[in-house]
Amino acid sequence: MDNSQLENTINEIRKRSGTITVFNKDKISNAIYKALAATSKADRGLAEQLTDSVVNKLVEQGYTSSRSPTVEDIQDIVESTLIDSGNSDIAKAYIVYRHERRKLRDEKKKILNLKSLDPVSKKFDLNCLRVLASRYLFRNGKNEIIESPTQMFERVAILVGIGDILYDSQVFDKAGNRNQSIDEAESYLEKLDAFDYKFKVGDYYLNKWHFRSLINHYVTLATKGQMKVSFKELLTLLASKKLDSYADRMTENLEMMTSQDFLPNSPTMMNAGGRLGQLSACFVLGMGDSMEQIMKSTSDAALIFKSGGGVGINYSELREEGDIVASTSGVASGPVSFMNIINTVTEVVKQGGKRRGANMGIIEAWHPDVEKFITNKTEPGILENFNVSVGIWEDFWHALVNTKDGNYVLRSPHDKKPVKEINAHQLIDLIALSAWKSGEPGLIFFDQINKHNVFAKARQAPLRATNPCGEQSLYPYESCNLGSINLVNLVKRQADGTYEFDWQRYEEIIRKTTRFLDNIIDVNNYPVAEITVASKESRRIGLGVMGVADLLYKLRIPYNSKEGYELQAKLSETLTYYSMEESVALAKSRGEFPLCSKSEYPEGKIPVAGYYEKPKESHSYEWDALIEKIKKYGIRNVLVTTVAPTGTLSMIADCSNGMEPAFALVFEKRVTVGRFFYTNKIVEEVLKEHGLYSDELLAKIADNYGSLKGLDEIPQWMQDTFVTAMDIHWADHLMAQAVWQDWIGNAIAKTINMPYDVTVDDVKSAYLLAHELGLKGITVYRDGSRHKQVLHMTSENAQKTFEVTPTKHVTDFVTANITNPYIKSQVNAALAIKVHDEEIKIEPLIHEEISEDRLCPTCKNNLIFVEGCSICIECGYSGCTSG
């Protein structure tokens, strides 16, 4: 009997859950191949041969199309076949593999509170599921998990699909002038319970919170006169399956997430299809200089924290400490005191009951309290729920780099009158010293943020605040919905085993995810009425990426090489180009964002620096043609791209964070039985391929800051390719951020990692170079700094045994492009390569007792610091809100 006849004889198998599924010989072959690989006999041909023997035995034992074997039956026969064929060592490996799989299944069921595993649980690894269980899956009043990962992704996919349904031509009229009863639709909000799981689209049932979003979305469009049908007629269309084609969109949304190709920001996964229904990560509030305005902002912040969001506030409007308050003849307590109020509110109000909120506190360089603000966080326990940044404008930068004396005037926020004169150099030195000590404050370059801000004309004001991690500038009461594409998944394996990037799939997923995020704006349940208005006026979205470092590993391209920078630049340009193009397509069918006509888009301007600042011949796309389309049809979203922190999202997607280099290739985890190592999967595969993988080598890498650099056992090409954050000079970190920033509409969440031995002058030079490179903000992090050291060590024995220098690409850029004499002299001095005869061994600050604030507040394990944000690699806790 040939193989095809054998396969046809057994058509189905019975799974552990009792369900019947199609018999697939390849699954047996893959399991045997893994056992062969475990005994260093990875041989596909032998695996196929042994699989044929297994199938023969199944037939001999009477399994046919009418008598299906169980999974356990098949596994028993695999074992006996391996032993009978004289492969007892492989049989042993298979038995161990089978035992480990059973253990893994049991562990997954325990974590997820499931009796049998759902499709996502089977596919996702244990760490991904731990993160989902700790933060995303719905729980009951007893704190027990009550939904599977598949159900969680389904509730998100259904909600996003509801966004599409109301733009169907049967119900939507872009031109408007239709009159429908808003009251009729809103009356259904009073009886949500009666409509729980009553309607479905294809096979997807709408729960009552999905139904609420349908009502609210309908009301918004009906208010603009764009609904052709009454709400009851809409429900009739749903019930009669006239809108069932949108089940395909829901399936598409579901598959993007469950394939780990794309994930929306954390609040979307936490709240979609739930009571809170708040889907945005980022918010900005204004804070005016009156008690009423301060208390309004504080109250709004509390509502945002409660709904799962984080808040950025610029405190520069508040009068300086000691200024006389005319209404009371009292003395102003200053901005820092009001930051403490927000800090306390954050502490008290947990986000969605799941985590504390995050804040960005900003004061601009001209504010009289700027020096106090800069030094405030260098002491332990101060403003612990805040990231803080100093806002920089053109006048300060001019005083710093173009004037001899550096004189700079601080002005009263109250009447803009001069309060005192300081030296710009002394102020930047103070900022650099504080950041050297503690990682804060960051710098926000408002001059760069507003350079191509097409929305300033519509808002009649510049942008003056960002979200908590600094990558998303917003106007007061604006929100932003973020999402990240997992780039490492978009590779194609070549016949020779190497990988290439799939640009066509990238374009397809950019288009789909742009629509996904645009839909989120419509189905979102915003926490404050003003946020609903402002968010829908601009329809700002933030599509970004994750898995960049892993992608470069797969392609064997060093992150900090010319080729690495060129690929990252093209990835960035492609992201914004196709996202904007899709946004224009959405404008054609659904309408441009409401304030589009008042912005600079009709004048042919776009919020993309690379279009203006990179030579046209270096552009990969026809930007002029896109601009013409925008002038003709408008654009749906004021801005479309942002590279946000993806701490927990990356854990769920099983890839590297955002556009950051890998933090470490090997992390140590100490357990009672000894040392255990987390290893980057791609690097683990390469080490095994080259016969280098061993526990001894993993320990050596962990003790070397998780880096391969300087280890004699590791070939030079591997050391050059598989670089970590600490292998890369801070100037190359800035260069990587810059090649993304050239084409990203909003900004980038990135940590500029610095070794423990950098000077304050190095930090200052990083600021100067960052501004020259066109960055919108910068967060530096010196290893070993601060009481709040978020541990950079990957092992208790970690020692740095290598020197990091800037690449020729960076030094050539500085030589060719920096013309300002002051900046040139400072940056050149900092980038001068230091020659050391002796091996550098820097003892990190690791042997002192680890204070509580270095530990994860959820599971008390060590935190690491990436993307300007602290994250826990154990449970997925993140100090940021977006991911």
Three-class secondary structure of residue 77 per DSSP: helix
Cβ-contact 692, 683 below 8 angstroms: no
Q: Which residues contact 621 (CB under 8 A, 6 or more apart)?
A: 573, 574, 577
471 noted as active-site residue:
yes
Cis peptide before 441 (omega within 30 of 0): yes
Q: Which of 282, 469, 596, 872 is catalytic?
A: 469
Q: Which of 265, 467, 657, 862 is catalytic?
A: 467
In the chain, how long is the greatest CA-to-CA distance? 100
Cβ-contact 128, 655 below 8 angstroms: no
Query: Among all chains, which residue has been given the structure tokens 């204004």?
Result: 286
Burial (CB count within 10 angstroms: exposed 0-12, middle 13-18, buried 19+), residue 333:
middle
Q: For residue 535, what are its two tokens?
A: 């968010």
Q: For residue 692, what are its two tokens?
A: 């280098």
Cβ-contact 308, 500 below 8 angstroms: no
Q: Which of 147, 364, 471, 592 is catalytic?
A: 471
843 noted as active-site residue:
no
128 noted as active-site residue:
no
Q: How far apart are CA 819 and CA 823, in angstroms?
A: 8
Q: How far apart are CA 783 and CA 219, in angstroms?
A: 52
Question: What is the torsion angle, in degrees rounded to the nearest 10, for the CA atoms of residue 237, residue 239, residue 240 and residue 243?
Answer: 50
Q: What is the DSSP string of 251-317?
A: HHHHHHHHTTSEEE-HHHHHHTTSSS----SEEEE---SSHHHHHHHHHHHHHHHHHT-EEEEE-TT
Q: Which of 275, 269, 267 is nearest to 153 (CA)?
A: 269
Cβ-contact 115, 148 below 8 angstroms: no
Neighbour tally for 340: CB within 10 Å: 15
Q: How far apart are CA 275 and CA 116, in angstroms?
A: 27
Instruction: Show which residues are catalytic.
Output: 467, 469, 471
